[in-house]
Structure 1
Amino acid sequence: MSKAIDDPENPEWTAADFARARPGSELPEELRAFFPKTRGTQKAPTKIPVSIRLSPEVVDHFRATGPGWQSRIDDILKKAAGL
C-alpha cells in the first residue's frame, strides 16, 4: 500500500469539502471560459466499444488522416458489410 504524500498546497479533501463541492456547470460564465469544452455523456449511445487487432500499417494509415480516424474505419467496415 502506498503512503499518502503530505502536500500543503493540495491537502486531502474532507467530508466537509465534498459537501461544499458543486459541479463546474454552476460556476460563473467568466470562470467556465477557462475550462475546456467537453462533449459530455452520450444521450443515446450509437456505437458499441469493442477491442480489435489491426495491423500497424492500417492503424498508421488511418491515424495519419487526423481526428475521426476511428469513425472512418467504421464507415469503411459498414460499406464492406453492405450496410
Structure 2
Amino acid sequence: MNDESSKFVRYVPGPITPEQIERMGKLADLPDSEIDFSDIPELDDAFFENAKQGTMYRLMKRQTTLRLDADILDWFKRHAKNGKGYQTDINKALRAYVVAQERRAARKAG
C-alpha cells in the first residue's frame, strides 16, 4: 500500500433498513422551520479563512488508454513537477476545454 492510499478511510455502509427509510421520509416531510439547528454552531469568518474547497469529494475517474501526439505528451511531462502529475494536468486541460465548449453552446442557445 502506498502512502497516498493509506491516508484514506473508506466507509461502506450496510443496506438501509425499513425503519431508516421511514425515518428519512418523515424528516424529508418536515418544513425547514421545524428543524432544530441549535446544536450546530454558526460558521464565522475564521472558519472560511482556512476552508478548502474540493477536499471531501472527488469526481470518479476511469482508467483508459488514450493515444496522444508524442510532442503533446512530452510537453505535459516536461511541465509537470518532477515529471509527476502530468496526467492530472492533461485532465485539467481537457476539463477546461469542455467547460469552455459548454459555455459557448449555452451562449449560442440563449
Q: TM-score range by the shorter chain?
A: 0.3 to 0.5
Higher RCO structure, 1 or 2 (CA under 8 Å, sep 6+): 1
TM-score, normalization by structure 1? 0.47
TM-score, normalization by structure 2? 0.36
Kindly indicate which of the two structures has a greater share of residues assigned to helix.
2
